[in-house]
């Protein structure tokens, strides 16, 4: 079962993988002020209308890519000098000024790139082997592609995020229950040392408890992720071993996607949208979870 074919309760995932019409800069949801975020640390890269854009803390943005291709899943390099992204299903890299475009993979089915600390490797999920997604790592120049996971055809290993030491990846998978995604950790060197981090949900059709889209804080002390474990999608954080679960943010009745830590680890950027309206918008919130929400821009798939 791929994420794009998951049941409607996972609209938070299906909605961001399916190509949608460009989101209009609509009025903010209740409680979302159109003000600058004074604590923002660095620009946010995001997708809108098939292109990539970069936004500053005041919400002003510039276009990074343009053309008829479908560009998605942008991810900053650790030094913010380059962006890895997926163009028409293949992994690419471009400089932050829009020059130096380079294609890294030649097959389609790639998604969710994530830079390793140091910027020399990129992890990503791909369906290139047939069946559902598996995890891969490639060098930033496109060399030395390695496959990390090998699972049954119905198992979906996806959405990798690096630990700050570069030795491990946190990712989402339904390997324990066809209808239930949990978070796991593996070694980045060989895909071994599997450890389950979240324990929620029964795996039954329609049951709550999916944990998705992890991101690790710059200091490695917290993992942010999307979950519907409390009756509706929201952003949660936890310790690296899966303990100390905390609700960081929920903006009902929106669905939530792509929680990503700021470079200083104090805030999260989050995509919000109503599955029926397609009103994708990007907001920032404190990572500590005090609920103060700031609207940044209209867009999808943000990375800070």
Q: Please check whether residue 10 is in contact with residue 226, taking contact to mean a CB–CB distance below 8 angstroms.
A: no
pLDDT in tens, 198-248: 998 766 666 678 999 999 999 999 999 999 988 789 999 999 999 999 999
Q: Which tokens hold the place of 274?
A: 């109503």
| Sequence-separated (6 or more) residues with CB below 8 Å from residue 177 | 201, 202, 203
DSSP tag of 142: S
Task: Check residue 7 and give its pLDDT.
Answer: 32
* Residue predicted with more confidence, 153 or 4: 153
**pLDDT score of 41:** 66
Q: What pLDDT score was predicted for residue 161?
A: 98
8 Å CB contact between 64 and 55: no
pLDDT digits (tens, 9 = 90+) for 265-283: 999 999 999 987 779 999 9
Question: The domain 3-303 belongs to what CATH superfamily?
Answer: TolB, C-terminal domain (2.120.10.30)
User: What's the pLDDT score for residue 197?
Assistant: 97
pLDDT computed for residue 60 by the predictor: 84
* Residue ranges of domains in the chain: 3-303
Name, in order, each residue with C-beta under 8 angstroms of 243's C-beta and a sequence gap of 6 or more. Answer: none
Burial class, 49, CB count within 10 angstroms (exposed 0-12 / middle 13-18 / buried 19+) = middle
Q: Is the pLDDT of residue 30 over 60?
A: no
Task: Answer whether residue 70 shows pLDDT above 70.
Answer: yes
Q: DSSP secondary-structure letter at 183?
A: E
Q: Which residue has the tokens 């119905």?
A: 154
Strand-pairing partners, residue 139, are 121
Can you tell me the mean pLDDT for 81-103? 97
User: Which two three-digit tokens encode residue 130?
Assistant: 């047939």
Give the mean pLDDT of the chain: 86
What is the predicted pLDDT for the residue at 17? 40
């Amino acid at each position: 079962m791929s994420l794009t074919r998951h049941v409607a309760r996972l609209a938070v995932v299906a909605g961001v993988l399916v190509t949608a019409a460009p989101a209009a800069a609509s009025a903010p949801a209740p409680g979302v002020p159109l003000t600058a975020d004074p604590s923002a640390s660095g620009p946010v890269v995001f997708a809108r209308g098939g292109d990539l854009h970069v936004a500053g803390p005041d919400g002003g943005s510039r276009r990074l890519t343009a053309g008829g291709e479908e560009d998605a899943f942008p991810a900053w390099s650790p030094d913010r000098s380059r962006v890895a992204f997926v163009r028409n299903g293949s992994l690419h890299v471009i400089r932050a000024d829009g020059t130096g475009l380079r294609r890294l993979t030649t097959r389609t089915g790639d998604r969710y790139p994530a830079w390793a600390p140091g910027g020399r490797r990129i992890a990503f999920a791909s369906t290139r082997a047939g069946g559902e997604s598996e995890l891969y790592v490639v060098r930033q120049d496109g060399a030395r592609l390695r496959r990390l996971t090998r699972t049954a055809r119905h198992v979906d290993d996806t959405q990798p995020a690096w630990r700050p030491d570069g030795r491990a990846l946190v990712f989402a998978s339904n390997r324990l229950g066809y209808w239930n995604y949990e978070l796991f950790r593996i070694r980045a060197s060989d895909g071994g040392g599997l450890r389950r981090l979240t324990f929620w949900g029964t795996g039954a059709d329609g049951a709550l408890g999916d944990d998705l889209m992890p991101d690790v804080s710059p200091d490695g002390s917290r993992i942010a992720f999307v979950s519907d474990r409390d009756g509706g999608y929201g952003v949660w954080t936890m310790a690296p071993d899966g303990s100390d679960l905390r609700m960081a943010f929920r903006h009902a009745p929106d669905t939530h996607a792509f929680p990503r830590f700021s470079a200083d680890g104090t805030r999260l950027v989050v995509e919000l949208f109503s599955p029926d309206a397609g009103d994708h918008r990007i907001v920032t919130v404190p990572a500590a979870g005090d609920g103060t929400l700031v609207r940044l821009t209209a867009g999808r798939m943000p990375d800070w």
